[in-house]
Structure 1
Amino acid sequence: MGADHTRPAPSAPPRVRRILIATVVPLVLATVVAALMLWPRNAPEPADATDPPRHHGTVTRVVTEPCPPTPEQPEGAPGTRPERCGTVAVRVDSGPAVGQQVETPVPAGPGAPTVDVGDEVILVELSDPADPSSVMWNIAEHQRGTPLVWLAVIFAVAIVAFGRWRGLAALAGLAASFAILLTFVLPGIGAGRDPLLVAVVGAALIMFVVLYLTHGVTAQTSVAVLGTLGSLVLTGILGTVATAATHLTGFGSEDATTLSMFQADVDLHGLLLAGIIIGSLGVLDDVTVTQAATVTELAHANPTLSRLQLYRAATRVGRAHIASTVNTIVLAYAGASLPLLLLLTADSRPVGQLLTSEFLAQEIVRSAVATLGLIAAVPLTTGLAALVTTAGRQTPGSPAGEPAPPPAPRPSRDRAETLEALSAARSGRASTPPPAASDRWPDQDRSTDSAW
């Protein structure tokens, strides 16, 4: 997450490091203590599995035939589609019946897989409770393990090949994020804890682990951490106010309704807020890390820039970043809710009623709150980075601990010197050579890409 800057950031003065340590360490300890207090020790055990056994199989033969018309829906009736009927021969590859050839009906119905010879599928073994010896087999879905493994391998290799050690650290941070989600956030919400509180603490844990693991323990990373944490808290407050003002209940999707049937003690309104917090974390990390790095790079490129000049320059970069990221957030939520949006377009209700319905209002609130938190992250992180970067700044000849004086204004040339310079250039005489690169650029190893 965030921008990658291979050149290490210059170390902050000792006084600044002490202030950052005194600020960040208590926040880390408070997050760990809160996580221990909220840890789901009495999480509900999963219900006893009553699903039928599932086994791997390989399709060896497919025989299809036209489906006979039913009395309720004659063949060719409007609104109906002809379905595939017939049988599928499958070789069982796992379970007690391994090696046997079994016959199943051709999968039919909404979402049914389309199978061909050679496909690897998941078989469901159905037995009659009255006669256990009577067994029927059905095809549930395709096996997806091997393609997913290859995709994960390509994903990891590409990240490590491009990011090298930083990419490897990013993969470790990704694994830590999923570990925190699976062992703390989801079990904590399932155990009846306050979803908003669990989400804030879990997001803070993820933030501390991922940012310091990926970008190193530096003052620049600490600034990004503080900016992200402040923006997360603001996002939680805005989400609480917005969902209360719009009277959202959390029953804005079929998944939430189904969850309420299986776990009635889960607060769906809090779960909605938790989703906003977790969903905002990744984009917030990207913005705060970029802003902290931008301030550091600007200060390194031109050490004479004042604190206000650094803030203004980095904020201009942040505005361009926000302008593109806002569209990213809205499109990400729209893509995740595309079936819902398509269903709403077929609704005959007026547009005003559609926009204020529970289903669509939930997505509008989610996008707006995440965007407001993202916008607040830019000035917050940029201001902190400008303070940290310029704190304790010294000139080569100034005593230790004394800040550098403001840069002296460039003396203006008088009219005679200006005319002489112009006449020399017009007559072709050699003019004063330009200053060396080392005089204009503080680090000769830095990139010298031309400006826009």
Structure 2
Amino acid sequence: MKKIIYLSVIILSLIFSTFSLSEEYISGKVISLLEESIGNEEEGIEKISKFKVKILNGTEKGKEVQVDFPTYLEKQYNMSIKVGDKVVLYKSYDSTDSESGKEEVEENIKAENLIERIDISDVDKRNIFYFLTLIFVGLTVFIAKKNGLKSLLALFLTLIFIIKIFIPAIAQGYSSILFAVLTCIFSTVITTLLITGFSKKTFIAILGTTSGVIVAGLLSYSFGNLMRLTGYGDADVLSYAGILSNIDLKELISAGVIIGSLGAVMDVAVSISSSINELYEINPNIEEKVLFKSAMNIGNDIIGTMINTLILAYIGSSMLTILLVYIQSSEYPLIRVLNYEDIAVEILRAVCGSIGILISVPLTSYMGTKIYKK
């Protein structure tokens, strides 16, 4: 029922949006509150505030405009705006004649026979993001010194790879799993080379990480097929089905598992490979069986916290969904809840990612032992 409501809203929005010629998002700053007037309660509006806003970018930079900002009776729809805030302005042009054709509307643009409408869309959060990122970078460098700087560089290069190669490749219809594995290999190679340098333990960490995330990805893909997952678990995704037609969303679920578990699996693989290296340097004559057993014991101690990290991360990202399920638990039996696709996908990601961590321990231990002893 909820999906039908969401789809209806989306369709109606698309229908009414045909009357709007164009839209633009620009930055602005609230200069002053000019007046407040009582709203129409029948329309659910408590009051209307009229702000003076200065446009900060675009062709009309520096221009001051008056913007009406409604306060709704339903508090959950309201957004807090005060004088001095930087805001995102939504500028649209509406034809005075709703039945004008596309060509006629384009002529109206040239003749400027259109009504310009400016609304406050949201608070501009960019400066807050920049400040938060600065704190993160500063603390990383201050606490971890040189290695922290190397880690930041590795993270930056990984993000560039994801944005410039991984995402465009998926958008063009290439295999999500293939490019997720390539992203994993690239990130692991860059990170381990920068942190530990070129050595046997680096090579072992690369092999262990890649093996773990590939296992996690293949498991999620296999069980996703068994559960008949489509990738269209959200009504918002359904509304974009047209532009996603050349993308295999089932593969995208597995790609998300690979990318999501990469950090935790890499941590385990690097820790075990470094441990094997230390054990071998202390005693080069150590028996292969003893070296493997020691590596496994170290891996077993790491597993507990790493699995907690991954599971809790997925729970944290799905907190709203979990809360809604709990509140409506009397209306939805367990058989219904566990068969919602979005919930099934989150469970699949958490479990398969954890299996990737588990499997990386014996794989890294075995490969590391063989490489050092032979």
TM-score (norm 2): 0.81
Q: Distance in 1 between matches of 2:257 and 2:47?
A: 43
Aligned to 1:101: 64
Alignment pair present for 1:52 and 2:23: yes
How far did residue 111 of structure 1 move?
Answer: 5.6
How far did residue 160 of structure 1 move?
Answer: 2.0
Aligned to 1:273: 254
Aligned to 2:9: none
Aligned to 1:15: none
Alignment pair present for 1:127 and 2:127: no
Q: Distance in 2 between matches of 1:360 and 1:353?
A: 10
Structure 2 SS opposite 1:227: helix
Following superposition of structure 1 onto structure 2, how do residues 284-323 of structure 1 map, counting pairs within 5 Å?
284-301=265-282, 305-323=286-304
Aligned to 2:361: 378
Structure 2 SS opposite 1:106: strand
Alignment pair present for 1:366 and 2:336: no
Q: Distance in 2 between matches of 1:197 and 1:141?
A: 38
Alignment pair present for 1:69 and 2:41: yes
Q: Which structure shows the higher helix fraction?
A: 2
Q: Distance in 2 between matches of 1:239 and 1:367?
A: 10
Alignment pair present for 1:251 and 2:217: no
- For each residue in 1:333-378, what CA deviation from the matched residue of structure 2 results, as whole angstroms up to 9, or x when unmatched? 1211222222322431112221132221111111111111110100
Structure 1 SS opposite 2:41: coil
C-alpha spacing 1:211/1:307, structure 2 compared with 1 (3 Å): same
Following superposition of structure 1 onto structure 2, how do residues 95-174 of structure 1 map, counting pairs within 5 Å?
95-108=58-71, 112-130=78-96, 132=113, 134-174=115-155
Of 371-380 and 238-247, more deviation after overlay is shown by: 238-247
Alignment pair present for 1:332 and 2:313: yes
Code of the residue aligned with 2:59 in structure 1: it is P
C-alpha spacing 1:359/1:87, structure 2 compared with 1 (3 Å): same
Of 85-94 and 374-383, more deviation after overlay is shown by: 85-94
Code of the residue aligned with 2:32 in structure 1: it is R
Structure 1 SS opposite 2:214: helix
- For each residue in 1:211-266, what CA deviation from the matched residue of structure 2 results, as whole angstroms up to 9, or x when unmatched? 22332111111110111122222223212221122111112234533442432221
Alignment pair present for 1:87 and 2:47: no
* Native 8 Å contact 1:166 1:215 kept in 2: no
Q: Distance in 2 between matches of 1:64 and 1:288?
A: 61
Structure 2 SS opposite 1:55: strand
Structure 2 SS opposite 1:221: helix
Q: Distance in 2 between matches of 1:262 and 1:317?
A: 48
Code of the residue aligned with 1:199 in structure 2: it is A
* Native 8 Å contact 1:176 1:210 kept in 2: no
Structure 1 SS opposite 2:60: coil
Q: Distance in 2 between matches of 1:275 and 1:154?
A: 28
Identity of aligned residues (%): 26
* Native 8 Å contact 1:112 1:141 kept in 2: no
Q: Distance in 1 between matches of 2:235 and 2:282?
A: 53
Q: Distance in 2 between matches of 1:284 and 1:258?
A: 35
Following superposition of structure 1 onto structure 2, how do residues 388-407 of structure 1 map, counting pairs within 5 Å?
388-391=371-374
Of 319-328 and 309-318, more deviation after overlay is shown by: 309-318
Q: Distance in 1 between matches of 2:219 and 2:292?
A: 25
Aligned to 1:438: none
Aligned to 2:336: 353
C-alpha spacing 1:122/1:300, structure 2 compared with 1 (3 Å): same
Q: Distance in 1 between matches of 2:284 and 2:113?
A: 82
* Native 8 Å contact 1:260 1:266 kept in 2: no
Larger Rg: 1
How far did residue 188 of structure 1 move?
Answer: 0.9
How far did residue 176 of structure 1 move?
Answer: 1.2
Code of the residue aligned with 1:379 in structure 2: it is P
RMSD (CA atoms)? 2.4
Structure 1 SS opposite 2:80: coil
C-alpha spacing 1:259/1:287, structure 2 compared with 1 (3 Å): farther
Q: Distance in 2 between matches of 1:248 and 1:182?
A: 26
* Native 8 Å contact 1:307 1:390 kept in 2: yes
* Native 8 Å contact 1:256 1:268 kept in 2: no
Code of the residue aligned with 2:119 in structure 1: it is N
Structure 2 residue corresponding to 1:225, chosen from 206, 209, 213? 206
C-alpha spacing 1:374/1:107, structure 2 compared with 1 (3 Å): farther
Q: Distance in 2 between matches of 1:84 and 1:313?
A: 69
Code of the residue aligned with 1:361 in structure 2: it is A
* Native 8 Å contact 2:95 2:114 kept in 1: no
Aligned to 1:187: 168
Structure 2 SS opposite 1:250: coil
Q: Distance in 2 between matches of 1:306 and 1:321?
A: 23
TM-score (norm 1): 0.68
* Native 8 Å contact 1:252 1:358 kept in 2: yes
Q: Distance in 2 between matches of 1:287 and 1:166?
A: 18
